[in-house]
């Protein structure tokens, strides 16, 4: 039992040491703002924020139009369920838009 623990700890120390010497930017946090991983992640999040702001209304408007049409053709009992679906769809579209704006603002702040 003790031998397995020592062997595991030795392997962990060797792995961390090799990692630190292989990737010194990640290990010692030197100039992380210019690393490829950081700049690539920033661009990815910027694009994600823009895509959410575009895709939210594009996906939400047809769904809302469908729900409104179905509500108009429904009887009194079904109109209540369609009203709930419309409210959920509106909140979802607003949530997607808000998420896209928050991501874009955060990435603008860090850029």
Q: In sequence order, what are the residues at sequence separation of 6 or more whose Cβ sits closer than 8 angstroms to the Cβ of residue 104?
A: 46, 49, 50, 53
pLDDT at 106 exceeding the cut of 80: yes
Q: For the segment 13-31, what is each residue's pLDDT rounded down to a tens digit?
A: 888 887 777 766 555 556 7
Rounded to two decimals, what is the model's pTM?
A: 0.64
Q: By three-state DSSP, how is residue 8 classified?
A: helix
Tokens of 51: 């895509």
Q: For the segment 47-93, what is each residue's pLDDT rounded down to a tens digit?
A: 999 999 999 999 999 999 999 999 999 998 899 999 999 999 999 99
With contact defined as beta carbons under 8 Å apart, do 56 and 23 qualify?
Answer: no
Q: In sequence order, what are the residues at sequence separation of 6 or more whose Cβ sits closer than 8 angstroms to the Cβ of residue 79?
A: 71
Task: Give the whole-angstrom CA distance, residue 106 versus residue 94.
Answer: 18
The band of 110, judged by pLDDT with boundaries at 50, 70 and 90, is confident
């Amino acid at each position: 039992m003790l031998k397995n623990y020592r062997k595991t700890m030795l392997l962990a120390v060797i792995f961390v040491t090799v990692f630190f010497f292989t990737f010194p930017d990640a290990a010692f946090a030197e100039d992380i703002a210019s690393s490829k991983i950081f700049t690539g992640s920033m661009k990815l999040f910027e694009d994600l924020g823009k895509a959410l702001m575009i895709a939210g209304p594009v996906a939400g408007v047809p769904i809302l139009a469908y729900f409104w049409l179905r509500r108009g053709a429904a009887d009194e009992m079904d109109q209540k369920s369609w009203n709930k679906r419309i409210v959920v769809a509106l909140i979802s579209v607003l949530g997607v838009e808000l998420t896209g704006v928050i991501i874009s603002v955060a990435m603008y702040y860090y850029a």
